[in-house]
Amino acid sequence: MASALRVRFAPSPTGYLHIGGARTALFNYLYARRFGGTFILRIEDTDLERSTPESLKAILDGLKWLDIGWDEGPEKEGPHAPYFQTQRLDTYRDHCDQLIAAGKAYRCYCTQEEIRERRAQAEKEGRAYKYEGTCRERKDVPEGRPSVVRFKMPSVEGSVSFDDLVLGKITKEYSDLDDWVMLRGDGIPLYNYGCVIDDHLMDITVVSRGQEHVNSTFPQLMLYQALGWEPPRFAHLPLILGPDREKLSKRKHKEADVMLHKANGILPEALLNFVIRLGWSHGNEEVISREQMIEWFDFKDVGSTSGVWNPDKLLWLNQHYLKTLPPSDVAGRLAPFLAQQGQTLAPDDVRLERFVLAFRERAKTLVEMATMALPYLKQGVTLDEKAAAKHLTADSLALLRQVREEIAALPDWSVAALDAVIKTVSERAGVGMGKVAQPVRVAVTGNTTSPGIGETLQLLGKEEALRRLDAALARS
Ligand code: GLU
């Protein structure tokens, strides 16, 4: 019987969740969801200097914001707990002991200083450094000297290969591999070692990660062989390039930070949709719902060419979701952006949804939407002098006064009733509606563009609209 599908995302908590990590997490998550598998989150926190609780929180927050839920891992636990590598040191030590006893690994007493010197020498001679096996057969155990544990590469000819689900067959000669370090003197595993032990013990069947790990796969496969374990399948994901076509990196590209997009008013739906298209496609589909992602995702549709960051596409997708998600839903997400700009509205304030409806055709982000809404929430308005000179003439002020009187008397402040007043006033004066609406617009918004005039007045509310009309009338 084929074993149940189990995939994992194994971030190191040494910084925020970056786009590459989010994509790896997403692809693994979707693969598990599509094929009824289990998605595991494992924290590779063995870099003690660089791993921090803040980074861990940032990664979990990022995954939660994107709604990439894991089945086993931190905050969830599961049958293979603990899911933090620093809590699994006994396991790594035990397996090391077994490998040493079986002659497949050995203690190495070469100091870092010695290795550094030999590496420098190799570089000087223009050859790639490989550990020369100094301690392989060492019988004299130097007293009190710290040791690491090294993998013992079999001394045979041949090659190791695997059939990558994305890249196809990849092969490496044994002679290109060396006796790599598995465990440090303090019992902390190195990446290749901890990764294999955990992937096996956590019953992982498919390992998907970034292409930068292709070369690590070979020493990992050697370890599977040495332990007599069946390796998982592998799916290495293509690079992601920044807008400048350089490899997307935290150092060079601010857009690599998932949470920056949240702060910029991007919706998680849009970012997820954007991220899935970095290296994966389904025909020419651009707008892809979560249901479709789960229905369609497969590693066989991941390409080997790099995904390129296209900022316009992200904004386009974001506006698509701003326009198509239920306005009440978007309203809830707009509120914090208004609060950030000093306007805290109650969650059930009807104006929030009105702002969404009024601005979603023009705003590409929640930040832009909040910026557009802000003038409607403040007291008073600064008139654009050019617009005022053109539209607030003596003639138009007379019309403005009529509008002011009639709307002040309206029993309900609805868009239809407000529009009807503009219509009546313009008909009575025998002018087009624009001749009335535009002075009103300039008077209440300060300039010549805004949503429909009834909508604009409604957004302002009666009190503020009248106040602004009065201020404009007082100019004459
Ligand atoms: N901790 C490794 C990383 O963050 C995991 C690589 C893997 O998935 O094997 O790059």
The letter for the amino acid at 34 is R
Pairing relationship of beta strands 307-308 and 38-41 according to DSSP bridges:
unpaired
The torsion of the CA quartet 400, 405, 406, 411, rounded to 10 degrees, works out to 140
Q: Which residue has its alpha carbon closest to ligand 1 atom 5? A: 10
Question: Which of 46, 213, 223 has the most ligand 1 atoms within 8 A of CB, as the residue to mutate?
Answer: 213
Long-range residue pairs from 100-103, CB within 8 A, at least 24 positions apart, any chain: 100/149, 102/226, 103/152
Strand partners, 207: 234
Closest Cα to residue 7, out of 202, 190, 162, 192? Answer: 202
Exposure of 380 by Cβ count < 10 A (0-12 exposed, 13-18 middle, 19+ buried)? exposed
Q: At what angle do helices 433-445 and 453-460 cross, to 10 degrees?
A: 30
Rg (alpha carbons) of the chain, rounded to whole number: 32
Question: What integer pLDDT is reported at residue 135 of this predicted model?
Answer: 95
Question: Given this chain, do its domains 6-85+240-308 and 88-237 carry the same CATH topology?
Answer: yes
Pairing relationship of beta strands 206-210 and 38-41 according to DSSP bridges:
unpaired
Phi then psi for residue 302, to 5 deg, are -85, 130
Six-digit token string for 123: 């570089």
Asked whether residue 137 is marked as a ligand-binding residue, the answer is yes
Q: In angstroms, what is the span from residue 226 Cα to ligand 1's centroid?
A: 22
b/e string for 226-258 if b means 16 or more Cβ within 10 A? bbeeebbbbbbbbbbbbeeeeebeeeebebbbb
Phi then psi for residue 188, to 5 deg, are -85, 125
pLDDT, averaged across the chain: 96
Does the Cβ of 10 fall within 6 Å of ligand 1? yes
pTM of the model: 0.94
Does the Cβ of 209 fall within 6 Å of ligand 1? yes
Tell me the pLDDT tens digit for each residue of 313-339: 999 999 999 999 999 999 999 999 999
Longest CA pairwise span in the chain (Å): 109
Tell me the pLDDT tens digit for each residue of 95-152: 999 999 999 999 999 999 999 999 999 999 999 899 999 999 888 888 888 999 999 9
Which is the catalytic residue, given 250, 323, 423, 462? Answer: 250
Q: Which residues in the chain come in under a pLDDT of 50?
A: 1
Compute CA 244 distance to the chain's CA centroid, rounded to the nearest angstrom: 19
Question: What integer pLDDT is reported at residue 1 of this predicted model?
Answer: 44
Closest Cα to residue 218, out of 202, 237, 208, 231? Answer: 231
Residue whose token pair is 């991941």: 302
Whether omega before 82 lies within 30 degrees of 0, making that bond cis, reads yes
Half-sphere exposure of 17 (CA within 13 A, CB side): 26
Residue 25 CA to residue 11 CA, distance in Å, equals 9
Phi then psi for residue 237, to 5 deg, are -90, 145
Question: What integer pLDDT is reported at residue 476 of this predicted model?
Answer: 60
Please give the CATH architecture assigned to the domain spanning 325-376.
Orthogonal Bundle (1.10)
Pairing relationship of beta strands 168-173 and 159-164 according to DSSP bridges:
antiparallel
The letter for the amino acid at 372 is M
For the domain covering 385-473, report its CATH number: 1.10.10.350
**Known catalytic residue at 250:** yes
State the closest ligand 1 atom to the C-alpha of 209, by its place in the atom list counted from 1. Answer: 8
Residue 436 CA to residue 30 CA, distance in Å, equals 55
Q: Left, alpha or beta for 436 (phi > 0: left; psi -120 to 50: alpha)?
A: alpha
CB within 8 Å of 290: residues ≥ 6 apart: 67, 269, 272
Question: Which of 42, 44, 63, 233 has the most ligand 1 atoms within 8 A of CB, as the residue to mutate?
Answer: 44
**Domain segments of the chain as ranges:** 6-85+240-308, 88-237, 325-376, 385-473
Q: Topology of domain 6-85+240-308, per CATH? A: Rossmann fold (3.40.50)
Cβ atoms of 223 and 249 closer than 8 Å: no
| The CATH number fitting domain 88-237, selected from 2.60.40.10, 3.40.50.620, 2.60.120.10, 1.10.1060.10 | 3.40.50.620
Residue 322 CA to residue 287 CA, distance in Å, equals 13
Residue 71 CA to residue 367 CA, distance in Å, equals 33
Residue 193 CA to residue 389 CA, distance in Å, equals 75
Six-digit token string for 413: 């402040």
Tell me the pLDDT tens digit for each residue of 170-225: 999 999 999 999 999 999 999 999 999 999 999 999 999 999 999 999 999 999 99
Residues 455, 458, 464: CA angle, nearest 5 degrees = 135
